[in-house]
Each structure stands twice: as C-alpha cells, then as structure tokens.
C-alpha cells in the first residue's frame, strides 16, 4: 500500500521571528511511518517542524504552517491507498502576519486569530479521497463522545482517540494509551504502551481496512 502520514505540530507566524505552535513532538506520526515502512508500505510523511530524525525510506515533505500542510496533502493524496492524519495542526493562526518584528510599545497586545483549514476534514469533502482515512482525536474531556462525533463528521474509517489530560501519555511523551473507534464496530481500547507498539497495531489494522477499488 501507499500511505500518507501527517505528523508534528504546525507553526503559525505572528511576525518574522515569532509563531504560535503546540507541544506535539511528532513521535506518534514518525512511529507510524516507521511501522508502515517495516510492513513494506510506501510512505509519504508530511511533517511539521520536529527534532527527531525521519525514518529511512520515507518520502519526507517538510512544512511549517497549517496552510503549507494543507497544500502538501492536497498535492500528494490522490496516489495514496490510506492516509493517517497524526499531525497536531494549529486550529487558529494570526489573521495578519506582521511584516516586521512587533515592537513592545504598549502594555497589552491583542492578536486576532482566524481558523486554519481543516486538512482531515477536507480529505473526503474537498479532495475527494476514496482510500482508507484515519484521524486522531486528542481530548481532555468526554473523550469517546467527542471522538465518535469527529469520526462521522470527517468521514474516517478509523479514529484514534487519546485522553491528553493524563500525565505520561499523549503529547510530547514516549507512551500512549488510545481507544480505536470504527464507524460500525464497538470501540476498542488498546493497552498503554510505547508509541512504537501502538503504531505497529494501527498499521496492521489499516492494512486490513483496505477498501476495494471503486467501480467506475
């Protein structure tokens, strides 16, 4: 199979030297890319800025902002059998990017933010992607209810839900504890474990979810 994986955070520029971002390390997405390569799949890894090495054998496309990631996904999605959206994409970006470094002139500074494009939400609705679609949902409350809603709204075949309010798992850690949600099957919790082990299990499942080619 050919797999596209998004990973890492995005950076949304405020001015030439500052940005908004988040605590994503990219480890989950990179572990998925590594597991997919070990299973013999072709991997296109669309990555925000991270400090971990890229898995050998992946085609890596480096991006900064949510808009860059959106455009990279749009240009690489058509040839994929499956797409896994593990990136922690910023939901908002500064509505205006200052051309020069903002000076500390007043006591308070208000930043106006606007929504970034929803890349996963565009896969089916805008890009017309027909392959296996996998999303992540990081939540701090009502995990399964929110994740179930996201699974259906974004047209996913699998959604991986993780509770980021628990210490030691999720963002910027080596371990994760996730529940797998499917459109027509009961939720399946996976035991807490290293992201590498969870990634292997997700790749095994994604290979099994492969959709039959659509009849023209």
116 binds ligand C5P (CB under 6 A): yes
Q: Which of 72, 119, 132, 181 binds ligand C5P (CB under 6 A)?
A: 119
Nearer to ligand C5P, 6 or 44 (CB): 6
Q: Which of 137, 158, 181, 205 binds ligand C5P (CB under 6 A)?
A: 137
Q: Which of 150, 157, 198, 200 binds ligand C5P (CB under 6 A)?
A: 150
130 Cα distance to chain centroid: 18
93 binds ligand C5P (CB under 6 A): no
Q: Which of 33, 82, 87, 199 binds ligand C5P (CB under 6 A)?
A: 87
Q: How far is the CB of 165 from ligand C5P (least distance, A)?
A: 14
Question: Catalytic amino acids?
Answer: 22
Total number of residues binding ligand C5P (CB under 6 A)? 16
> How many angstroms separate the CA atoms of 7 and 161, rounded?
16
Binding mask 156-195 for ligand C5P (x = CB under 6 A): ----------------------------------------
**Which residues contribute to the site for ligand C5P (CB under 6 A)?**
6, 66, 85-87, 89, 91, 116-120, 135-137, 150
């Amino acid at each position: 199979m050919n797999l596209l994986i998004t990973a890492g955070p995005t950076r949304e520029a405020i001015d030439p030297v500052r940005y908004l971002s988040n605590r994503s390390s990219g480890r989950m997405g990179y572990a998925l890319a590594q597991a997919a390569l070990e299973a013999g799949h072709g991997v296109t890894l669309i990555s925000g800025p991270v400090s971990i090495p890229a898995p050998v054998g992946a085609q890596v496309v480096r991006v900064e902002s949510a808009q860059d990631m959106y455009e990279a996904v749009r240009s690489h999605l058509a040839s994929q059998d499956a797409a896994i959206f593990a990136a922690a994409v910023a939901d908002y970006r500064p509505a205006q990017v200052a051309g020069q470094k903002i000076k500390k002139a007043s006591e308070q500074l208000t930043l106006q933010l606007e929504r970034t494009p929803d890349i996963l939400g565009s896969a089916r609705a805008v890009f017309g992607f027909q392959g296996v679609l996998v999303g992540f949902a990081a939540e701090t409350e009502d995990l399964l209810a929110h994740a179930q809603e996201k699974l259906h709204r974004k047209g996913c075949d699998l959604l991986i839900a993780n509770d980021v309010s628990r210490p030691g798992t999720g963002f910027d850690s080596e371990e994760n504890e996730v529940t797998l949600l499917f459109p027509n099957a009961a939720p399946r919790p996976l035991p807490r474990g290293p992201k590498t082990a969870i990634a292997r299990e997700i790749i095994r499942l994604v290979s099994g979810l492969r959709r039959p080619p659509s009849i023209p």
